A and B are shown apart, each in its own frame.
Chain A
Amino acid sequence: MTTTNWTPAQPIVSIRDLHKSFGDLEVLKGISLDVMKGEVICVIGPSGSGKSTLIRCINALNPINSGSILVEGQEVHDPALDKLALRKKVGMVFQQYNLFPHKTALQNVMMAPLKVLKRPRDEVEKHARELMNRVNLQGKEDSYPGELSGGQQQRVAIARSLAMNPDVMLFDEVTAALDPETVKEVLLAIKDLAQSGMTCILVTHEMGFAREVADHIYFTDRGVIVEHGPPATFFTEAKDPRTQEFLSQIL
């Protein structure tokens, strides 16, 4: 693995002129953004604007065409990069939870630290139980994903990601598949995480939530960042007509 002289004073995630196409369809047309350690970033925008693709490029789930993504100073799309080392630093939560259905909630949380990090079992289990408490799921340790509600499953997924002690967490529209009444419990868990100093990058449609927790909001449309700013000014002083139109439809 390459060593870098990255310091926490520099952006923990730094994206420069990112281009990404699926065949002839160019989804990202030159995205640049910086995320500092401990910052909470929300990416909003209409469907099909490339938000999810952007977030999936950050932990190399999608390859990119050109540009650069640095995580803690390391180029994510360098072919020589140790992808496993990257993914130990970057956690991800998906829209469809993607829990492992053949394992209980607790086993889901314990699996990666046990098998990937090869930590001792008692230490892993202790940490996993703490995380289950943290996402307010005490008592559900032995339930299988199929026995849990969407909101509960999503919180297990958050705990599962946190079990790897990541430096950055990615959330890909994590409340989009949930029943309205369970959205809140998931947002609470994320809010708690954001306030604890975790660096979070969220793709979301929850404007109220973005306004409440985000340090910075990016609005993307058709593969470019149209406008960005802190929530205090972003929602009230949007200048671009596309942003204004989007916000008028949502708010």
Chain B
Amino acid sequence: MSRQIPGMSVIVQGKTDLPVLKPYRLSMSAGPADLGFSRWLQGVNPLTFVAIAGLLLIWPVVVFAQGGYTTAQAFEALWRWLPFLVTSGFALNILISFFTMLLGTVAGILLGLGQIAPLKPLSRFSWFVTQLFRNSPWLVLLFIVMLAFPFEFQIGGTIFLIPDWIKAVFGLSLPIMANISEIVRGGIQSVPTGQWEAAESLAFTRRQTLWQIILPQCFKRMIPPWMNWYAILTMATPLVSLLGVEELVTLSRQAMEAEDNHPELLMPFFGFALVIFFLYCYPIAKWTLRLERKFAVKE
């Protein structure tokens, strides 16, 4: 009774002596030091983006024949909206990314320490929470938090409104928390067990060992993957536009509507969003990999 998904057919595993194309496998090893995203981003030639910008300039010319709206008019519209888009839109993306990272990091550190706790029920529980939120689609988590959480709460006689973007922060910080938890666990487990034993034989308590001997050794190693997740998160913040939070992408769409929805506006406006995210995240990716190399040499 299964529905046929268009474009998918049953693939019969069989032997052949014909040359075959092996299935493409994404390497998805998600170890703590996996900086795949930063590596990809810093590997992008910045000229690529010059080329994209060039295409953006050509685009309105191409569609010019179909309408009366000119390139100059489209860019003039963007120019008019630009200060608003940056200060009200992109600023909110950054604000969301900051608070999400803050909340996700604090919760993630606690959860990561929970994962290595000697108390079995606690470590099991922390492991489960970590895996649950690491392996859930971000958008689903966002929908759950946005729709299931109250938009206001009452303390005493005062009603506090919870703005949409705060709820978005809660939603996004769940997967970030889970991934930071894995970074912490992986970092701690990368320290040889001999360090624990040496500290133990010197009568250090478990807590002293963790904070004074183990964590200082792996703290630096955790920074590059942590920054990698910050860049991924920042790139993911436009997801919240699907839920009506008035960040850059939502405001861009509203601005285009205010400009009578000329199709010529699409590329300048969304192209601008692309460029501003790139300008923000590219240096982070560069810096992440530089730190990773620096810490790697010291080991």
B241 within 8 A of A: no
A155 within 8 A of B: no
Give, as a whole number of angstroms, the nearest-CB distance from A79 to chain B. 15
Q: In the complex, are the beta carbons of B205 and A84 less than 8 A apart?
A: yes
Partner of A92, one of B192, B195, B201, B205: B201
Given contacts A101-B217, A102-B217, contact A61 B205 (CB under 8 A): no
What 0/1 pattern do residues 73 to 100 of A give for CB contact below 8 A with B?
0000000000011011011101010111
Given contacts A100-B213, A116-B208, contact A87 B203 (CB under 8 A): yes
The majority secondary structure among interface residues of chain A is mixed
What 0/1 pattern do residues 215 to 252 of B give for CB contact below 8 A with A?
01100000000000000000000000000000000000
Residues of B within 8 A of A164 (CB): 202-203
B23 within 8 A of A: no
Q: How far is the CA of A42 from the CA of B2 in the complex (A)?
A: 72
Q: How far is the CA of A102 from the CA of B195 in the complex (A)?
A: 11
Give, as a whole number of angstroms, the nearest-CB distance from A163 to chain B. 9
Q: How far is the CA of A187 from the CA of B136 in the complex (A)?
A: 57
A238 within 8 A of B: no
Q: How far is the CA of A189 from the CA of B197 in the complex (A)?
A: 22
Residues of A within 8 A of B198 (CB): 94, 98-100, 157
A126 within 8 A of B: no
Q: Which chain A residue shows the least CB distance to B205?
A: A84
Give, as a whole number of angstroms, the nearest-CB distance from A173 to chain B. 13
Give, as a whole number of angstroms, the nearest-CB distance from B231 to chain A. 28
Q: How many chain-A residues does the 8 Å CB contact rule pick out?
A: 24
Give, as a whole number of angstroms, the nearest-CB distance from B160 to chain A. 44
Q: How far is the CA of A98 from the CA of B204 in the complex (A)?
A: 14
Q: How far is the CA of A96 from the CA of B198 in the complex (A)?
A: 10
Q: In the complex, are the beta carbons of A98 and B197 less than 8 A apart?
A: yes
Q: Which chain B residue shows the least CB distance to A112?
A: B202
Give, as a whole number of angstroms, the nearest-CB distance from A40 to chain B. 19
Q: In the complex, are the beta carbons of B208 and A61 less than 8 A apart?
A: no
Q: In the complex, are the beta carbons of B201 and A91 less than 8 A apart?
A: yes
Q: Which chain B residue shows the least CB distance to A59?
A: B201
Residues of B within 8 A of A14 (CB): none
Residues of A within 8 A of B213 (CB): 100
Q: In the complex, are the beta carbons of B194 and A61 less than 8 A apart?
A: no
A20 within 8 A of B: no
Given contacts A61-B197, A100-B195, A115-B208, contact A160 B217 (CB under 8 A): no
Sample of 9 more A-B contacts, CB < 8 Å, known A92-B201, A98-B192: A61-B200, A84-B205, A94-B197, A99-B198, A100-B213, A102-B216, A116-B204, A161-B201, A164-B202
What are 17 inter-chain pairs, A to B, with CB distance below 8 A?
Answer: A61-B200, A84-B205, A87-B200, A87-B201, A91-B201, A94-B201, A98-B194, A102-B217, A112-B204, A115-B204, A115-B208, A115-B212, A116-B202, A116-B203, A116-B208, A157-B198, A164-B203
